[in-house]
């Protein structure tokens, strides 16, 4: 009751899932396209069997079943993005038209069903579909950072692993905006072009070039930029596993580590913290927060520089 049938144009695959499929396909000479088709054929949804994550979709409302929530203003033909994971969204793919690895987006012909309880956003008119989709994919990140950063002291240290990626950029901007000019915001990024672009935004005190899978080196590089202070808040925005310990080692005693990354091993994080004797709060990144879509789109509307970066990187 109350389902929404959507004609799907584009899937925005979760970054951890896309990276896993790329690596697995490369190892056996396959393609991401074939893996997605196989997953959807087997499971009836894009639910990566290895990472467990999905992504979200863009499409046009084809039909609305009776019993939709009261007061809703959506109608047939409206363009919508799902704000509930593809791992929970019934999907059929009739054709794959393009795979865009740089944005982890796949253009398809197909249909999906959103339930009456599934969150979605009407596509904004002041963004290209691709940019809006990229931002909405990680819409949960910045609002959560605003909450966490607003609880810190006057001169906090905030560290972002994977700071040059999509969610990392939004988190870095939000950390600076919320914690203010006296905060020390340090990003760790392994991809040089992304590190350079993040530096260009001038929201971080430093962008460390390091592989966060090396916890000792990462901690050393970060502390070298904070006069030895450990972080009050660490945000993990990477698309790969094996960085849990670096996140934990960068945090101070009773600090907070926020794992937005779906590539996180929560066993690795919990046992890693115990193993190194760190009393830190480990938070799971909830992809949903009240008003998260508007919060994130407004951030892009506020910052011309972040918007230009998103347009350049994800709009093509």
Q: Return the number of the residue (108 or 194) whose C-beta is nearest ligand NAP.
A: 194
Residue 189 binds to ligand NAP (criterion: CB under 6 A)? yes
Residue 213 binds to ligand NAP (criterion: CB under 6 A)? yes
Residue 295 binds to ligand NAP (criterion: CB under 6 A)? no
Q: Return the number of the residue (158 or 188) whose C-beta is nearest ligand NAP.
A: 188
Are 131 and 311 contacting, i.e. CB atoms less than 8 angstroms apart?
yes
Residue 199 binds to ligand NAP (criterion: CB under 6 A)? no
Q: Return the number of the residue (91 or 212) whose C-beta is nearest ligand NAP.
A: 212
Residue 103 binds to ligand NAP (criterion: CB under 6 A)? no
Residue 239 binds to ligand NAP (criterion: CB under 6 A)? yes
Residue nearest to ligand NAP (CB): 165
Q: What is d(CA 170, CA 306) in angstroms, rounded to the nearest whole number?
A: 8
SS (H, E, C) the chain: CCCEEEEEEEEEECHHHHHHHHHHHHHHCCCHHHHHHHHHHHHCCCCCCCCCCCEEEEEEEEEECCCCCCCCCCCCCCEEEECCCHHHCCEEEEEEEEEECCCCEEEEEEEEEECCCCCEEECCCCCCHHHHHHHHHCCCHHHHHHHHHCCCCCCCEEEEECCCCHHHHHHHHHHHHHHCCCCEEEEEECCHHHHHHHHHHCCCCEEEECCCCCHHHHHHHHHHCCCCCCEEEEEECCCCCCCHHHHHHHEEEEEEEEECCCCCCHHHHHHHHHHCCCCCEEEECCCCCCCHHHHHHHHHHHCHHHHHHHHHHHCC
Q: Which stretch binds ligand NAP (CB under 6 A): 3-11, 233-241, 267-275, 291-299?
A: 233-241
* Least distance between ligand NAP and beta carbon 212 (Å): 3
- Which listed residue (11, 237, 282, 297) binds ligand NAP by CB under 6 A? 237
Q: What is d(CA 95, CA 195) in angstroms, rounded to the nearest whole number?
A: 36
- Which listed residue (33, 199, 211, 294) binds ligand NAP by CB under 6 A? 211
* Least distance between ligand NAP and beta carbon 187 (Å): 9
Residue 59 binds to ligand NAP (criterion: CB under 6 A)? no
Q: Which stretch binds ligand NAP (CB under 6 A): 28-36, 86-94, 110-118, 156-164?
A: 156-164
As a whole number of Å, the CA-based R_g of the chain is 19
Residue 223 binds to ligand NAP (criterion: CB under 6 A)? no
- Which listed residue (166, 219, 225, 307) binds ligand NAP by CB under 6 A? 166
Residue 240 binds to ligand NAP (criterion: CB under 6 A)? yes
Q: Return the number of the residue (40 or 170) whose C-beta is nearest ligand NAP.
A: 170
Contacts to ligand NAP by CB under 6 A: 14-16, 53, 137-138, 140, 161-162, 164-168, 188-191, 194, 211-213, 237-240, 243, 260-263, 285, 287
């Amino acid at each position: 009751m109350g389902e929404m049938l959507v004609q799907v144009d584009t899937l925005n695959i979760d970054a951890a899932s896309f990276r896993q499929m790329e690596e697995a396909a490369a190892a056996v000479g396959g393609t991401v396209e074939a893996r997605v088709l196989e997953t959807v054929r087997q499971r009836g949804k894009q639910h990566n069997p290895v990472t467990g994550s999905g992504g979200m979709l863009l499409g046009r409302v084809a039909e609305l079943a009776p019993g939709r929530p009261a007061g809703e203003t959506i109608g047939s033909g409206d363009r919508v993005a799902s704000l509930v994971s593809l791992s929970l969204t019934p999907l059929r793919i009739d054709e794959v038209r393009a795979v865009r690895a740089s944005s982890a987006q796949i253009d398809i012909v197909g249909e999906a069903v959103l339930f009456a309880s599934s969150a979605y956003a009407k596509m904004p008119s002041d963004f290209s579909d691709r940019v809006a989709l990229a931002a909405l994919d990680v819409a949960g990140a910045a609002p959560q950072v605003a909450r966490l950063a607003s609880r810190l002291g006057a001169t906090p240290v905030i560290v972002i692993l994977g700071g040059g990626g999509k969610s990392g950029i939004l988190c870095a901007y939000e950390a600076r905006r919320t914690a203010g000019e006296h905060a020390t915001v340090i990003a760790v990024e392994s991809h040089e072009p992304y590190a350079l672009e993040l530096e260009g935004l001038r929201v971080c005190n430093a962008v460390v070039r390091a592989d966060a899978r090396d916890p000792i080196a990462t901690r050393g590089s970060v502390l070298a930029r904070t006069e030895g202070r450990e972080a009050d808040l660490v945000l993990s925005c990477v698309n790969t596993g094996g960085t849990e310990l670096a996140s934990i080692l960068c945090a101070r005693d009773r600090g907070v580590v926020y794992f937005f990354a779906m590539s996180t091993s929560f066993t690795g994080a919990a046992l890693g913290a115990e193993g190194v004797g760190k009393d830190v709060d480990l938070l799971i990144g909830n992809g949903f927060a009240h008003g998260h879509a508007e919060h994130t789109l407004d951030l892009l509307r506020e910052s011309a520089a972040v918007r230009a970066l998103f347009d350049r990187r994800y709009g093509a």
